[in-house]
Chains A and B, each alone.
Chain A
């Protein structure tokens, strides 16, 4: 079946603009995660959804970052007033139930560049 998909694959924006990044998880997966990966680093956790609700948003760096998953499937990560430091690859992953032992399946990522 289809894996995790993310759109767009690349996004270039100007400082101060608003961006939305979309994630389409594997069908039937209730758990969805967003991570951010800077060059040469491992992914860093941002937020975890269980169904429609954000069960853990402790990784969001500040209130410019917000994410939704209104129907328990597709999720959108929203970044307001973008800054150059937001430039990174944003990864989405999904897993069957969100258990600690579950395998997470990652999408290809969205490369965000803030000029």
Chain B
């Protein structure tokens, strides 16, 4: 079945460092790809999405490009802030037009001042 694999955390960075969180997927159809974020004490919220190959999603300085050839959707940010500390989830919807999300296990990011 369809699945998402994320790099294991926690990831600890200093402020202003470059961030990459790897995400790869397995899907039989043509998935849409998402990054959701969960800040401490808050609910899951959409960070960015891409709905077809080669699309780039971006928001709040984060970006990810839908790479069909490598089945990847890596999350990047050029300069992280302490406020970016959170758990990041990569997810896909696997077709059938139900919107059902399949999530990776999450990657915890801790940014130190």
Contact = CB atoms under 8 A, between A and B. Distances in A.
Mutual binders A and B:
yes
Interface of A: 31, 33, 35, 40-45, 48, 50, 55-56, 59, 91, 93, 95, 98-109
Contacts of A100: 31-32, 51, 93-99
Nearest to B95: A100
Given A99-B99, A107-B43, 7 more contacts: A42-B91, A42-B103, A98-B99, A99-B97, A100-B94, A100-B95, A101-B93
Contacts of B95: 100
Interface residues of B, number: 27
B45 interface: yes
A42 B43 contact: no
Contacts, number: 73
Contact of A91 (B32, B44, B91): B44
Q: From B4, B49, B51, B97, name the one whose CB has the most chain A CB atoms within 10 angstroms.
A: B97
Contact of B104 (A42, A91, A95, A101): A42
A102 B101 CA distance: 11
B52 to A, nearest CB: 9
B100 interface: yes
A58 to B, nearest CB: 8
B31 A106 contact: no
B100 A48 contact: yes
